[in-house]
Structure 1
Amino acid sequence: MIIPETQLRRFTQNVFMAMGCSHEHAVLAADVLLKSDLRGIDSHGVARLSGYVRLWEKRRINPTPDIKIVHETATTATIDGDAGLGLVVAPFAMQVAIEKAKTYGSGWVSVRNSNHFGIAGYHALKAVEQDMIGFGMTNASPLVAPTFSNERLLGTNPMCYAFPAGNYPPVIVDMATSAAANGKLEIAQRSGKQVPEGWIQNGQGNATTDPHALKSGGSLLPLGSDREHGSHKGFGLSATVDILSGVLSGAGFGPWVPPFVSFLEPPVNPPGQGIGHFLGAMRVDGFRPAEAFKKDMDIWIERFKGASTIHPDQKVIIPGEPELEAELDRMQNGFPLVDAVVKDLQELAAKLGVETL
């Protein structure tokens, strides 16, 4: 089903307001979710909406949070999200980072007691709008086993770096530190398809292509899939995200991160509070004039786009290009939603008493 952007946005806002969110927070939360669908990252868009409702029903999401700074220096801060939607808490934190960067050149904010914050790119791009380099990362449900293990200790733990350019769109490196995001498994489940080998292992640590394997004790693999293909590097990147997002902020970390997925139970006596994020902004003109940097970024982009390729029908893809192409297409032609997601959203509408799609 193809849904127009305005219709899907209104529906999503209404769901958040039915949860008790203010109109302002509902508009912001819907914007974060729809940005994911706009950019073709369907695993983190409205397909996740029922997950937020489920956590709200279990009183794990506070629809009216008192988001506040609990520790601060001139260039850093720690924020307590009061169990609010990460879709609202993270933008608050990124704005704090941006304001600090405006005054001091850079701003770095850790967040605890939050929830799933959508795509990391949404938050990092807010810094790019100010001629800054943006950083965004978060820890997540423990679904990933470190190299040589079959125990789920880490999340997919995405990280994003966003760089402004001049005549070209920004360069956005937005990726999970696992071989695949859990949302990719959910898409395969809804579509009745297997997943590529190297994404997941079963409970005994053997490779599998079954997208349902997590529910029977399996685990996602780090970026690189196995030691011979560099999974220790993915493990290291994931550990970095977990430490900056969780340990530094006082949030849950490792296996104690509260899960977003329905088949995991919240940890008992966790050492921290909620999900953690880490967000940052650096002024480009703290290093050189922003226009000179963006001019050279254009040269960088043009050189890589002009690289010789192995096959004539291939091209080098600049990080962020596929998402931009999807955004331009979907703004004009609407959002394609698979039947399983449409059914899920229609059930939400009936449950919450909001107008259906």
Structure 2
Amino acid sequence: MTDTPATAAETFPIERLREFSTRVFAACGVPEEDAALAAGVLASADLRGIDTHGVARLPQYHEMFEQGRINPRPNIHAVRESPATATVDGDNGLGLVVGPRANEMAMEKAERVGTGWVAVRNSNHFGAGEYYPLQGLPRGLIVWAMTNSPPQVAPLWGAEKMLGTNPISIAFPGMEEPAVVIDFTTSAIAFGKVEHAARKGATIPAGTAIDRDGRMTTDPREMLDGGALLPLGGDAEHGGHKGYCLAAMVDLLAAALPGANWGPFPPPFPAHLPEPPRSVGLGVGHMFGAFRIDAFADPAEFRRQVDDWVRTMRSTRPAAGTTGPIIPGDPNRRAEETRREHGVPVIRPVVEALERVAAATGVPFR
């Protein structure tokens, strides 16, 4: 298929995108160390093929800073703590900073006492969920991350946005095989994929969204114009009740428990989304869990079991018309291998948005 102006992509080295993001965050008043940390979260998404959560999000973060919706220099602090747990207040900081700081706290607790669980309130969008469990792999930790988000999803049999896409992420290290990296939204598709499809003039899969009247649609613009995403599974006949329950679990653990806004009440992201009708807490909520493998099993033996699991799944007889099962994390790992060598493709609408950010901040993009 011939590229259209919306789908044509320009390729950039990942370090160029990381440097630009770092300097933009710094221009927004974010301290240098935090700016580099936030840019690293975006770069990880771009490298691993999660185009919806990489540099494409930078204009939206910039807009939030411009409107005074994010505190560039937050006092991130624990408001409740035990040796293995904490509730952290992010002071309305950039989620790309609050999230990694809280995740680090969970990992440090796990290294000291075997497990660590940190709930977060008063944060913002924390980037691609898989970033967080990936940080635990070189430390011999299994890390679990969840976050709620502004409403984009209708509850089962509902016709309006009442829940976030509420993703869940976790990773398991192998010995010789690549890690099993699980990262999924509890909605049928991620909201970022709807935005991406709208930019490209493409459709979204059937059974993933409804329009403002509650009718199924494959037009991303109809979903964005008053429609909603459906829970993972879609309708009840295809398991939509399971996605709905997963979304509820994340909402209650990651938001209600630490005192963040749940359901339809988190603050908008991107900034142009409607304001919630009321507040029931502080900002967006996250939950990070970490535990040492050696608290449960011999680490080497567990890694060998993960290897065996991976090889067993790969040996499954392929379904007709396929090359056989993939392992969770395979597409992202392959994307990283390619993009480290050849660069990151950025579609024209995103390039234009980044050029506008460059003009507004005085940070050169090229």
TM-score (norm 2): 0.96
1:203 aligns with 2:212: yes
What is the distance in 2 between the residues matched to 1:123 and 1:316? 25
Q: Deviation digits for residues 52-71 of structure 1, max 9, x if unmatched?
A: 11111121111111111110
Question: What amino acid does structure 2 have at the position aligned with 1:238?
Answer: A
Equivalent residue, structure 2, for 1:151: 160
Deviation at 1:244, TM superposition (A): 0.8
Q: 1:261 and 1:234 mapped to 2: Cα distance?
A: 24
Q: Contact 2:52–2:196 (CA<8 Å) still a contact in 1?
A: yes
Q: Which moved more, 1:255-264 or 1:231-240?
A: 255-264
Counterpart in 2 of 1:342? 351
Amino acid in the other structure paired with 2:307: D
CA distance in 2, matches of 1:126, 1:216: 37
Counterpart secondary structure, 1:212: helix
CA distance in structure 2 between the partners assigned to 1:126 and 1:137 by the alignment: 15
Which residue among 315, 327, 334 is the counterpart of 1:325? Answer: 334
Amino acid at match of 1:286: A
Partner of 1:255, secondary structure, is coil
Q: Tell me what 1:25 maps to.
A: 34
Matched, 1:116 2:125: yes
- The letter of the residue matching 1:30 is A
Report the Cα distance in structure 1 between the residues aligned to 2:56 and 2:64, rounded to whole angstroms. Answer: 14
Partners of 2:207 and 2:54 lie apart in 1 by 25
- Asked whether the equivalents of residues 18 and 42 of structure 2 are also in contact (C-alpha less than 8 Å), the reply is no
Tell me the distance in 2 between the aligned counterparts of 1:321 and 1:224. Answer: 22
Q: For residue 226 of structure 1, what is the aligned residue in structure 2?
A: 235
Partner of 1:140: 149
Q: Deviations over 1:254-273 (max 9, x none)?
A: 01111213442332440100
Partner of 1:188: 197
What is the match of residue 47 of structure 1?
56
Q: Aligned residue for 1:250? A: 259
User: Normalising by structure 1, what TM-score?
Assistant: 0.98
What letter is aligned with 2:332? E
Question: Which is further off, 54-63 or 312-321?
Answer: 312-321
Gaps of 5+ in 2: 1-9
Distance 1:236 1:290 in 2: 33
User: Equivalent residue of 1:236, what SS?
Assistant: helix
Distance 1:97 1:164 in 2: 18
Q: Does 1:162 align with 2:171?
A: yes
8 Å Cα contact 1:75/1:100 also seen in 2? yes
Q: CA separation of 1:313/1:198 partners in 2, compared to 1, >3 Å: closer, same or farther?
A: closer
- Unpaired segments of 5 or more residues in structure 1? none
Report how far residue 216 of structure 1 moved: 2.4
* Cα shift readout 1:82-120 (whole Å, capped 9, x = no counterpart): 111111111111111111111211100000000100011
- Whether the 8 Å CA contact 2:163–2:264 is kept in 1: the answer is yes
Checking the alignment, whether the CA contact within 8 Å between 1:141 and 1:261 is kept in structure 2 is no
Q: Which residue of 1 is the match for residue 183 of structure 2? A: 174
For residues 221-244 of structure 1, give each alpha carbon's deviation from its aligned partner in whole angstroms, at most 9, with x where no partner exists.
000010110100000001111111
Q: Which residue of 2 aligns with 1:81?
A: 90
The share of aligned pairs that are identical, in percent, is: 46
- Residue 100 of structure 1 is aligned with which of 109, 118, 121? 109
Count matched residues.
Answer: 357
